[in-house]
Amino acid sequence: MKPTVDTAYLHFDETGNIPAIKYARITLGMGLPIIAARDDKKIVVATVNREGNPLYSGAEKIVRVSKDCVVLVTGHGGDTNQVRQMLRDMAVNHKFVLGSEVSPKEVSLSLSDYLHELGMNYRRPLGVGIIVAGFDQGGTTPAIYHCDVDGNAIDRNGIALGKETGAAEHELQKGFKEKTKLEDAVRAAAEAALRGMTEGSAEAEAKDFRIDVEILKPRNA
Amino acid sequence: MTTTVGIKTPEGIVLATDRRATMGYYVADKDVVKIEPLDDHSAITIAGSVSQAQSYAHMLRLNLEYIRNRRGWPLAPRELAKLAAHSIQRSGGIYGQFILATRDAKGTHLWDVGGDGSLIAKRDFTVTGSGTGPAVGVLESTDWDQVKTIQDAEDVAGRAIRASTQRDVGSGNGLVVYTLPNEGPYTMKMYTFKQSVEEDETEVSAL
């Protein structure tokens, strides 16, 4: 059935890009930073959230999906809610059918399928940056996946999404190269992103934000 | 119809079944194999409606393959057992009974999967099918302290199936034995019960 609205933005343009995907990436780039990195034993995740406003406690950026999997989301608020609910439904269904905790790998595959199907069904992509982190293979093996808005799932050792991604990933890379303690590298990345966000900004100061760092360890270690 | 037996030992699991398929009172086949290996680490016995059971085993086999390929590691024994029971329950039930043998790095696991979708983890042994009565008699009278090895369990399972083929019309013709050791490849052996005709020299007298 032919859609009743103009869907040109959902097709490839003359530059080989899909405008809707391009715009979605802009949206998620406006979100507060989310960062994750792993070694062969653990995962460290960090988020930058709003602080200091008595009327607002910040959004839930780390979503616990199962005992083996958390998902970090940033970007369009309504879209992150959609992702959050979908993942929790998935975790419950998985547990009901197989009796086990859904793994990051399975979450990333399902999420990517969903994100890709949106574009194939004349629906706009979600403006959400998604990092899936946790432990594969029965809760034993650290894994981080980046689920891109175009429906791609990529295995990563470290990643930052949201505002000031460049500065954050630069710090992460530096940490990996210099073999800095993983927690310190991730915190440094979050601080670099926060600096980038607030430097020269008239309306935002560092004290308006807080950095949350969480260390994830395998359930069956 | 059918008799299936599953026995768990410290060395691994033994599954055994008879080889008869029936259509009412007609013996439709005498060489049936009622144990379906699902992959190198699991197998299921089938008893009941052949069509439903074969298709069910095939579905489990494909799901194992699909999930292993998709996520990169196989279903754990408990996951496979839950899937086996859940898929029956969601389908509204199957006219059949199943014994599932699974294995992981920690060892082997024996499960009883009911035709209603029930799931019971078994510590020692289980029996299903129309020949349950004679077979379970043999199993219940076994001194389990003496059953330590896979070979011991094969002997007991063989006797149990043999007993059921003597007294249950739905079971007969032969024996299939599958072994799943804690480590190493599984084996499947098939036996046929020979029918020789010998003169009975007992004196016949009127009552």
Task: Return the pLDDT at B6.
Answer: 98
- Nearest CA-CA partner of A147 in A98, A90, A196, A211: A90
Task: Tally the domains of chain B.
Answer: 1
Interface membership of B75 toward A (CB under 8 Å): yes
Q: Where are the domains of chain A?
A: 22-53+65-196+205-216
* Residue from the list A96, A99, A105 with its beta carbon closest to the beta carbon of B71: A105
Cα–Cα distance, B20 to B30 (Å, whole number): 5
The radius of gyration of chain A from alpha carbons, rounded to an integer in Å, stands at 18
Probe site for chain B from A93, A97, A103 (most B CB atoms < 10 A): A97
| Torsion angle of the four alpha carbons B56, B62, B67, B73, in this order, in degrees rounded to the nearest 10 | 110
- Nearest CA-CA partner of A143 in A71, A43, A15, A59: A43
**Chain A residues with CB-CB distance to B under 8 A?**
96-100, 103, 105-106, 109, 136-138
Structure tokens at A221: 């270690």
Query: A22-53+65-196+205-216 has which fold?
Result: Glutamine Phosphoribosylpyrophosphate, subunit 1, domain 1 (3.60.20)
Please report residues of B whose CB lies closer than 8 A to that of A98: 75, 79, 82-83, 86
CA–CA min distance A97, chain B (Å):
6
Give the DSSP per-residue string, B92-106.
T--SEEEEEEEEETT
Cα–Cα distance, B47 to A161 (Å, whole number): 54
Tell me if A97 and B86 make a contact (CB, 8 A cut-off). Answer: yes
The DSSP 8-state label assigned to residue B30 in this structure reads S
Task: Return the pLDDT at A2.
Answer: 65
Task: Return the pLDDT at A94.
Answer: 95
Question: Low-confidence residues of chain A, pLDDT below 70?
Answer: 1-3, 220-221
Q: Which residues neighbour B10 within 8 Å (Cβ) at sequence distance 6 or greater?
A: B148, B149
Q: What ipTM score was computed for the predicted complex, to two decimals?
A: 0.82
* Residue from the list B70, B72, B79 with its beta carbon closest to the beta carbon of A100: B79
pLDDT tens digit sequence for A61-81: 899 999 999 999 999 988 888
Task: Return the pLDDT at A3.
Answer: 64
- Nearest CA-CA partner of B41 in B7, B9, B81, B86: B81
CATH of the domain at B113: 3.60.20.10
Please report whether residue B149 resides in a domain. yes
Tell me if B78 and A96 make a contact (CB, 8 A cut-off). Answer: no
The DSSP 8-state label assigned to residue B34 in this structure reads -
Tell me if B70 and A97 make a contact (CB, 8 A cut-off). Answer: no
Q: Among all residues of chain A, which has the CA nearest to that of B81?
A: A98
Structure tokens at A76: 């369009």
The domain in which residue B122 lies consists of: 3-192
Contact B179, B13 (CB under 8 A): yes
Question: Low-confidence residues of chain B, pLDDT below 70?
Answer: none
CA–CA min distance A98, chain B (Å):
4
Please report residues of A whose CB lies closer than 8 A to that of B70: 106, 109
| Number of A–B residue contacts, CB under 8 Å | 31
Please report residues of B whose CB lies closer than 8 A to that of A137: 72-73
pLDDT tens digit sequence for A124-142: 899 999 999 999 999 999 9
Burial status of residue B92 (CB atoms within 10 A of its CB: 0-12, 13-18, 19 or more): exposed
Tell me if A109 and B71 make a contact (CB, 8 A cut-off). Answer: yes
Tell me if A103 and B83 make a contact (CB, 8 A cut-off). Answer: no
Interface membership of B194 toward A (CB under 8 Å): no
